[in-house]
Each structure stands twice: as C-alpha cells, then as structure tokens.
Amino acid sequence: MSIRILSGIQPTGNLHLGNYLGAIRNWVRMQDEGECYFFLADLHALSSYIDPQALAAGIREMAAALIAAGIDPTRATLFRQSAVKAHAELQWLLNGTARVGWLNRMTQFKDKSGKNREGASVALYTYPVLQAADVLLYQATHVPVGDDQKQHLELARDIATKFNADYAVDLFTIPEATIPPAAARIMSLRDGTAKMSKSDPSDMSRINLSDDADTVAQKIRKAKTDAEPLPEDPADLNDRPEARNLVSIYAALSDETPAAVLARFTGHGFGTFKPALAELVIESLRPLTTRLGQLGADTAELDRLLAIGAERARQTAAPTLAGAYRAVGLG
C-alpha cells in the first residue's frame, strides 16, 4: 500500500512553537516519505465566531508560515479546505454513521465548550466528523498531528470502520495518527498544565513563528518556572510542569532526549537554562522567520499556489466522494 500523508491546521492566529514541534516539523519531514496533502482547515475555523476579514487574512498568513517552515507546494498538495467542496459533502454523509455517544466523549468539545455547553455552536460539536471527512476523503494512511488530535483520529477510524461495515464496502482506508515521541504536547509558557494554544488570550503564553528575536528572548525570560535547580533524572520533573515543558522544548529543538539535555544542565537554575533555551529557539527559528518575512507580502503568489493545490486535491477527493454517494444509495 502506498503511503499517503494528510494533515490540517486552523488558519486562526499565528503558527506557534507547539504547532511547529507537535505537527508541522513532522509534515516537513514526511514530504520525503509519501504523497502529501496539507490544508488550511478554514471550515473548522467557523466553529467559533471569527471576523470574516481576519479569517481571510489568516488563511494567507498560515499558508505563508507553512511554506516558510518547509512545506514545498511543488511536492506537497497545499490547499484550503473550503476550496474543496467534497469535505463538507462527505461530512454530511458521515453524519449518518457517527454516533452522538461518540461525539459526547470528545474531550476537546468538553474543554472548548466549558460551562457554556448549551451556547456552543453545533459546528464545535460536529467538528470531529468534518475532520474524519478530511482524512477519509483522501484515503490517508498517516496523519501527523500533536497529541491533542489523537482522539479525533480514533473517531475517524471508528467512523470509517462502521461505514465500511454498514454499507458492506471497502471504501475508506483506516488512517493512523503519527504523533512525535517528544514534543507531542508543548505547554503554555505561563501555565505548564495548559497546552500552548492560538486561542490563549495571553500572547506571552506562546512563541509565534512571526516573533522577532527580542520578543522570543523576553517571552522565555518571563516564562513561569520554579526556584529549584535542574535535576539529573527527567522523572524528577514530573511534578514540575513548567520546568519539564522548557526542557522538552530544548530537547525537541536540539533533537536530543530530555535526559541528554539535563546531563548538561543538571544543578543549574533557570538563570542559566533560560538564556541557553532562548538562543536555541531563536537560532532554530531564524531561517523560518527570515523566509516568512520574504513570503508574507506576496499574496498573489500565495493565492496562485493555493489554487493549484485545490485543483489537485479536488481530483484526488472526487472518486472517494463518488464512492460514498454510491455506497449509501445516492450514486
């Protein structure tokens, strides 16, 4: 079976270090391993109200950020989800297969709707079914994501299995999540128990790809930590979430294990570790931020690349959508 890789990101806010280390760096690496489809999940972005102009701008900004991070639109198919209508159509067909009980278990819905469940949008609730459609439409075998998307991928597998069984077809490939061993969950710089997120109101909680060197250094200097020196054994960081997060970021960027990083910094406090981390983050992101600065302004070129990607994606998606309509009796 050939390898087909697919993943998406919401074009709301900036590409941050959590997205980069948890997902995008894997997208870039996987371009050598199979046929790749990467998209801007602009339909998913509608699950919370977003200013229409901000959404339109965010789509181009995120496309530029992905290209700057190393996605090559001549090798990978890069497109906007809403430009391929088959995503929304397949979602409706899959709504017949997905169970309310399955959606009720989704932790992201519970987290995002919080205490105001009755006031959450229906899109926020059915969001994982659209995500299943995204993946199944392309017969993806591998889906590189961070840890927070694992449950959504399991749901996509359940929907695919049930659809194939209910309609006695062998239509959908059962996809697998590819989650990085380290950095699958980068936490907020202000709270080591909350994930680094585009939607966190505090910009100090995350490092954005678009941040300049001074901003990165300042955010790391102000990151919440504790007064203890760094231990030798990574297990001793288990109840020090902020310290563990900073060590994980260092390890992910230097491609080392946390144990190897601690071996160098053991006994030192954050007065030593934070400047070293800041330098590593700045140096690692420098090529990306430089490319982003060059690309960002060329909106016509970005639109052209996304249009080419959408056309390719439409062609790949068409036979599976047609197969799904046939399977349910609407062929």
Place of tokens 């790949």: 316
Q: What is the smallest separation between the CB atom of 154 and ligand TYM, expressed in angstroms?
A: 12
Which one, 8 or 258, has the nearer CB to ligand TYM? 8
Q: How far is CA 121 from the centre of its chain?
A: 21
CA distances from 222 to 2, 15, 217, 285 (A): 47, 20, 9, 19
Tally Cβ neighbours within 10 Å of residue 251: 20
List the one residue from 58, 73, 146, 192 that touches ligand TYM (CB under 6 A). 146
Asked whether position 195 contacts ligand TYM by CB under 6 A, the answer is yes
Q: Is 224 a catalytic residue?
A: no
Range 282-321, binding ligand TYM (CB under 6 A): none
Q: What is the smallest separation between the CB atom of 249 and ligand TYM, expressed in angstroms?
A: 10
Contact 245/187 with Cβ under 8 angstroms?
yes
Place of tokens 């060590």: 247
CA distances from 39 to 87, 98, 269, 273 (A): 11, 23, 41, 36
Q: What is the smallest separation between the CB atom of 191 and ligand TYM, expressed in angstroms?
A: 12
Asked whether position 209 contacts ligand TYM by CB under 6 A, the answer is no
Q: Which of 85, 110, 195, 224 is catalytic?
A: 195
**Residue 46 gets which letter from DSSP?**
G
Asked whether position 66 contacts ligand TYM by CB under 6 A, the answer is no
List the one residue from 7, 141, 245, 320 that touches ligand TYM (CB under 6 A). 7
Which one, 85 or 168, has the nearer CB to ligand TYM? 85
Q: Return d(Cα 69, Cα 288) in angstroms, integer.
A: 5
Residues binding ligand TYM: what is the number (CB under 6 A)?
24
Contact 145/131 with Cβ under 8 angstroms?
no
Asked whether position 22 contacts ligand TYM by CB under 6 A, the answer is yes
The CA radius of gyration of the chain, in Å to the nearest whole number, is 21
Which one, 23 or 327, has the nearer CB to ligand TYM? 23
Q: Which of 85, 110, 198, 224 is catalytic?
A: 198
Q: Which candidate, 236, 272, 234, places its Cα nearest to that of 251? A: 234
- Show Cβ contacts of residue 157 under 8 Å, excluding neighbours closer than 6 positions: 174, 175
Stretch of 1-9, 29-37, 71-79, 210-218 lying at the interface with ligand TYM (CB under 6 A)? 1-9
Q: How far is CA 147 from the centre of its chain?
A: 9
Stretch of 195-203, 259-267, 279-287, 307-315 lying at the interface with ligand TYM (CB under 6 A)? 195-203
Q: Is 115 a catalytic residue?
A: no
List the one residue from 64, 196, 220, 252 that touches ligand TYM (CB under 6 A). 196
Contact 43/82 with Cβ under 8 angstroms?
yes
Which one, 148 or 211, has the nearer CB to ligand TYM? 148
Q: Is 195 a catalytic residue?
A: yes
Q: Which amino acid is at 26?
A: N
Beta strands in the chain (DSSP E): 4-9, 35-40, 77-80, 142-144, 176-178
Q: How far is CA 255 from the centre of its chain?
A: 20
Query: Binding string to ligand TYM for residues 105 to 144, with x set by CB under 6 A, is what?
Result: --------------------------x--xx-------x-
Maximum Cα–Cα distance across the chain: 68
Q: Return d(Cα 236, Cα 30) in angstroms, integer.
A: 33
List the one residue from 28, 30, 41, 306 that touches ligand TYM (CB under 6 A). 41
Q: What is the smallest separation between the CB atom of 229 and ligand TYM, expressed in angstroms?
A: 26
Q: Which of 112, 150, 222, 224 is catalytic?
A: 112
Active site residues: 112, 195, 198
Binding site for ligand TYM (CB under 6 A): 7-10, 18-19, 22-23, 41, 44, 131, 134-135, 143, 145-146, 148-149, 184-186, 195-197
